[in-house]
């Protein structure tokens, strides 16, 4: 069967070779890649070899019976052709699969970039809402000083406030800042707020020695809303000693931030049905949560607010956990 070029199997081989030749030459004209041209020419010459025994009489002059000059059986070209066909086909399919994988990878990268751009746009939108919210609260304090005709206090407050606002506006142009910069801004903010609260309050910061604050990136003003809540919804309604403690610790690749105050506590605030207290989770804190989720991924962030009130003390604890590397 394999020595009879007139058999049905060789008819199928000739047909397949011709079809493959047409396909590859068409692909070459579409993308102009030399690989497909060389492969199509190879297929064409192999087709001519198998077509010779059944070629019409007018085609026979085109063939030269050069195989009679050889010392080996011409059928060896059939087996070599099949082997070469398989190798070339495998190579071309490998190239095609590689191109498909590369294209898929490029599309995935483009999708991730689009996701990042979308997250940055959301972050910018939330941040643009945060700044007016913060400015409004601070300007209210200046207005109170002016109404009380306390010029010295108003001047001192405006001086501190102007330094703070310059830094806040400068940082508002950035998607993230270092934790060290965030703490510097936070200290300026607390300094301003200590002038607003009657009797003032104590503020302390404890930082784990293992933390490198310059290498940890966070959204600008992401701690300020929680400190603001501790001051105005906890300490402002409390009599006696008032304090806010900020602690930053490292656990493996995660940073733990604890903000604790000795204010009236959540439960008491709700019992008093205070409008301010009922909005303990202010717009600023809500926007900050969204910004942290966008930056680190919601599944990587934990934010928990607890009432620490007991028989002997009262207060609120905010726990924030997120990965050190975004």
Model confidence pLDDT, tens digit, residues 48-76: 766 666 666 655 555 555 444 444 455 55
At residue 48, the pLDDT reads: 72
180 and 102: one domain? no
pLDDT along the chain (326 residues), means of 10: 56 75 76 74 73 62 50 54 65 74 83 70 55 67 72 79 82 83 92 83 94 90 86 83 95 93 79 49 68 83 90 90 83
Q: In what order do the strands lie in the sheet with 202-207?
A: 202-207, 243-251, 254-261, 316-323, 302-307
Overall domain count for the chain: 2
At residue 277, the pLDDT reads: 41
Residues whose CB falls within 8 Å of the CB of residue 52, separated by 6 or more in sequence, listed in order = 5, 63
Cβ neighbours, 10 Å, residue 103: 10
Q: Cβ(29)–Cβ(21) under 8 Å? A: no
Q: Is residue 114 part of a domain?
A: no
Angle between helices 76-147 and 179-196 (to 10 degrees): 20
124 and 71: one domain? no
148 and 255: one domain? yes
Q: Is residue 112 part of a domain?
A: no
Tracing tokens 């701690």 back to the chain, one arrives at: 223
79 and 185: one domain? no
CATH of the domain at 275: 3.30.565.10
CA–CA gap between residue 227 and residue 83 (Å, rounded): 75
> For 117-133, b where at least 16 C-beta lie within 10 A, e where not — what string?
eebeeebeebbeebbee
CA–CA gap between residue 185 and residue 131 (Å, rounded): 13
Domain of 18 in residue numbering reads as 8-106
77 and 211: one domain? no
At residue 124, the pLDDT reads: 60
At residue 244, the pLDDT reads: 95
155 and 95: one domain? no
Strand positions, DSSP E, 143-253? 177-178, 202-207, 217-218, 243-251
220 and 72: one domain? no
Task: Look at residues 76, 106, 136 and tell me which one is the last residue of a structural domain.
Answer: 106
Cβ neighbours, 10 Å, residue 232: 19
25 and 173: one domain? no
Query: What are the helix and strand counts (H, E) for the chain?
Result: 9, 7
Single pTM value for the model? 0.60
What does residue 177 show for φ and ψ, rounded to 5 degrees? Answer: -135, 170
Please report, for residues 34, 95, 104, 105, 290, the alpha-carbon distance to residue 98 in angstroms, rounded to integers and kept in the order given.
Answer: 18, 5, 10, 10, 40
15 and 52: one domain? yes
Q: Cβ(13)–Cβ(50) under 8 Å? A: yes
53 and 202: one domain? no
């Amino acid at each position: 069967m394999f020595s009879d070029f007139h058999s049905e199997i060789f008819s199928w081989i000739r047909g397949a070779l011709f079809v493959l030749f047409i396909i590859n030459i068409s692909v070459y004209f579409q993308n102009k890649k030399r690989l497909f041209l060389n492969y199509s020419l190879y297929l064409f010459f192999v087709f001519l070899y198998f077509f010779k025994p059944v070629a019409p009489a007018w085609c026979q002059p085109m063939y030269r019976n050069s195989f009679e000059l050889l010392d080996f059986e011409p059928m060896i070209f059939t087996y070599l052709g099949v082997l070469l066909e398989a190798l070339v086909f495998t190579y071309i399919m490998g190239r095609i699969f590689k191109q498909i994988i590369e294209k898929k990878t490029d599309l995935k990268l483009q999708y991730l970039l689009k996701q990042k751009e979308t997250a940055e746009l959301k972050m910018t939108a939330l941040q643009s809402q945060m700044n007016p919210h913060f400015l409004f609260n601070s300007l209210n304090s200046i207005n109170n000083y002016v109404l009380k005709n306390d010029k010295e206090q108003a001047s001192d407050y405006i001086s501190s406030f102007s330094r703070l606002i310059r830094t806040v506006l400068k940082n508002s142009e950035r998607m993230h800042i270092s934790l060290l910069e965030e703490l510097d801004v936070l200290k300026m903010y607390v300094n301003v707020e200590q002038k607003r609260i009657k009797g003032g309050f104590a503020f302390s910061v404890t930082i784990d020695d293992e933390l490198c604050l310059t290498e940890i990136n966070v959204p600008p003003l992401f701690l300020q809303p929680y400190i603001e809540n501790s001051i105005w919804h906890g300490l402002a309604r409390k009599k006696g000693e008032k304090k806010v403690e900020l602690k930053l610790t490292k656990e493996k690749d995660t940073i733990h931030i604890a903000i604790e105050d000795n204010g009236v506590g959540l439960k008491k605030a709700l019992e008093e049905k205070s409008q301010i207290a009922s909005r303990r989770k202010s717009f600023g804190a809500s926007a900050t949560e969204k910004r942290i989720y966008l930056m680190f991924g919601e599944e990587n962030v934990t934010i928990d607010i607890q009432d620490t009130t007991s028989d002997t003390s009262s207060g609120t604890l905010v726990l924030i956990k997120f990965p050190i590397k975004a």
